[in-house]
Amino acid sequence: MQFSIGRLIFFFTILLVFTAGNPSIAQTNKKAVAAADTLNPIESLVSFATKHLHIPYRSGGSSKKGFDCSGFVRYCFNKWDITLPHSSAAQAKKGQLIERKQAKPGDLIFFKGNSTKSEHVGHVGIITEVTPSYVKFIHSAWNGGIRYDLLDADYYQKRFVAIRRLID
């Protein structure tokens, strides 16, 4: 079945007239718009962070041109008027300490830097998903930029330090 441009315009005009004159459909549309406006802040944060996948890593970076780990976290939380320092070690002092089994999306996850022997926080990410079998987070890694990783991966498991919650 082929439609000409004229037929499509006619069809959409009829649809518009029908929905505008039908209070139940108009009310449904208003409810859908209202629901979109009241998204859970944590879901919004995770969704916003995900939109930045594959942006390159840049040491000291805090913009879409490139992020380091703390710059990325700071950039994401700033959208919700939560100001964080541009240092993963300083960010690790913010919020409430959370046990791993209580982790949820939106929590910050902290790691030691390159050395597993270090006691200092050197890396941060945002938890995006928690299941009984894994914790998934998004972060800016020097070898891949903004990407997802799993806490249970050997590299991160050996460097895991803490989880902190900034948004309830």
Q: Are residues 33 and 60 in the same domain?
A: no
Cβ-based burial of 128 (10 A; exposed 0-12, middle 13-18, buried ≥19): buried
Cβ-based burial of 111 (10 A; exposed 0-12, middle 13-18, buried ≥19): buried
pLDDT, residue 39, reads 67
Q: Considering the chain, what percentage of its residues have pLDDT values greater than 70?
A: 77
Mean pLDDT to the nearest integer, 6-16: 40
Q: Are residues 33 and 100 in the same domain?
A: no
Q: Are residues 28 and 100 in the same domain?
A: no
Does the pLDDT value for residue 122 go beyond 90? Answer: yes
| Position with higher pLDDT, 19 vs 39 | 39
Nearest CA to 49 out of 149, 143, 133, 125 is that of 125
Q: Are residues 157 and 83 in the same domain?
A: yes
Q: What is the pLDDT of residues 62-117, one digit of tens each?
A: 999 999 999 999 999 999 999 999 999 999 999 999 999 999 999 999 999 988 88
pLDDT, residue 114, reads 83
Q: Are residues 24 and 67 in the same domain?
A: no
pLDDT, residue 115, reads 86
Strand 96-98 and strand 108-112: pairing?
unpaired
Among 52, 54, 69, 120, the one annotated catalytic:
69
Q: What is the pTM of this model?
A: 0.77
CATH number of the domain where residue 94 is located: 3.90.1720.10
| 161 vs 109: CA distance, rounded Å | 8
Q: Are residues 16 and 67 in the same domain?
A: no
Q: Are residues 121 and 133 in the same domain?
A: yes
| 74 vs 56: CA distance, rounded Å | 16
pLDDT, residue 119, reads 85
| 164 vs 109: CA distance, rounded Å | 7
Does the pLDDT value for residue 19 go beyond 70? Answer: no
- Does the active-site annotation cover 139? yes
Cβ-based burial of 139 (10 A; exposed 0-12, middle 13-18, buried ≥19): buried
Q: Are residues 114 and 139 in the same domain?
A: yes
Q: Are residues 86 and 160 in the same domain?
A: yes
- Does the active-site annotation cover 76? no
pLDDT, residue 50, reads 97
Number of structural domains in the chain: 2
The strand ranges marked E within 9-143 are 62-63, 66-67, 96-98, 108-112, 121-130, 135-141
Domain ranges, residue 24? 5-37
Q: Are residues 84 and 20 in the same domain?
A: no
Q: Are residues 22 and 45 in the same domain?
A: no
- Does the active-site annotation cover 52? no
Among 52, 54, 86, 123, the one annotated catalytic:
123
